[in-house]
Amino acid sequence: MRPAPAEGEAVLVERAKDGDQGAFEELVRRHAERLYAVVLRFVADSDEAQEVTQEAFLRAWRSIARFEGRSQFFTWLYRIGINEAKRRAARRPAVPVISLEDEPVPEAPDWSEAPETRSAQADLRRALEQAIRSLPVEYGATVILRDVEGLSTAEAAEVMNLGQAAFKSRLHRARLAVRRALDQYFMEGGR
Amino acid sequence: MTATRWRRINARRDHRWAHSRLSAYIDGELPARQQRRLAAHERICPECAELIRALEVMLAWLPALRQPSESGLAIAERTAEQVRARIEEWH
């Protein structure tokens, strides 16, 4: 039976823990889009992102009886999804990763002005996505969760199963690496 | 030690201290005293000031990477159907 639209998430989680498949399906509907969007950044393509998203929900269903509610449901779910994406990434040939060492790009241009044309904006978006994708997964995930998806530091650290200080340290290194990639991109004429 | 040398040493120490905390500073997540200390350092350190500005610009662009939600409903329904079918296979 499909739950009422306004049914609170805590109620749905409790019913799913009791084996209510309809309640779990409603949780899937509510979270699938955002989980897919996060996972898509770590996998090869949309088909794989769909597979990983599905697998994450199946893992969540198998273990939901053990979900104790110490974290929010979505942070628990995101953790399952990112771990599944990492497992998939580990099976693929390694891709070049950008350095996490903070080496400034010599004579990097000032790119503080927003690109004006739609084409330039699309190019910038591609440059940012490529830079994040080129980070090791455990670093790229910090930028995706905190800066793209807008989770708080506490929420994002919980997804990554890190203390907040460790998460901030990792996030800072990842942000610096993305910034260096943008320096390189703009030095090459923004192409 | 001269006052100038002492200021130079302090400035280098502040710079090293500040560099590892820039993200937390930009996010407003430092304790108030550290936030003030780093703000004071930003005023006198062109390198840190430039890095802060670059990171702030970059952080303003990143939310635009969120995937558009036009296909969101389709993803939600398709995933729900797939998950239902797999769960029913188990039973």
DSSP states of B14-63: HHHHHHTTHHHHHTT-S-HHHHHHHHHHHHH-HHHHHHHHHHHHHHHHGG
Q: Tell me if B76 and A129 make a contact (CB, 8 A cut-off).
A: no
Q: Is residue A130 part of a domain?
A: yes
Domain check: are A64 and A129 in the same one?
no
Residues A15 and A1 sit within 8 Å (Cβ to Cβ):
no
Distances (CA, A) of A147 to A80, A89, B87: 20, 22, 34
Domain holding A65: CATH number?
Answer: 1.10.1740.10
Domain boundaries, chain B: 3-90
**pTM for the whole thing?**
0.83
CA–CA separation, A151 and A145 (whole Å): 6
Query: Could you read off the pLDDT tens digit of each residue along chain A, which spans 191 residues?
Result: 454 555 699 999 999 999 999 999 999 999 999 999 889 888 878 899 999 999 999 999 999 988 988 888 999 999 999 999 888 877 776 665 666 666 665 566 666 666 667 777 788 888 898 889 888 888 999 999 999 999 999 999 999 999 999 999 999 999 999 998 888 887 776 54
- How many domains does the structure of chain A reveal? 2
B44 touches chain A (CB under 8 A): no
Searching chain A, which residue's CA lies closest to the CA of residue B69?
A33
A28 CB within 8 Å of a chain B CB: yes
Domain coverage including residue A181 = 118-187
Cα–Cα distance measured from residue A90 to residue A87, given in angstroms and rounded to the nearest whole number? 5
Contact (CB<8Å) A147/B62: yes
Residues of chain A with Cβ-Cβ distance to B54 below 8 Å are 111-112, 179, 182
A50/B79 touch (CB, cutoff 8 Å), yes or no: yes
> Does any domain span residue A81?
yes
Hey, are the CB atoms on B23 and A172 less than 8 Å from each other? yes
Looking at this predicted complex, what is its ipTM?
0.83
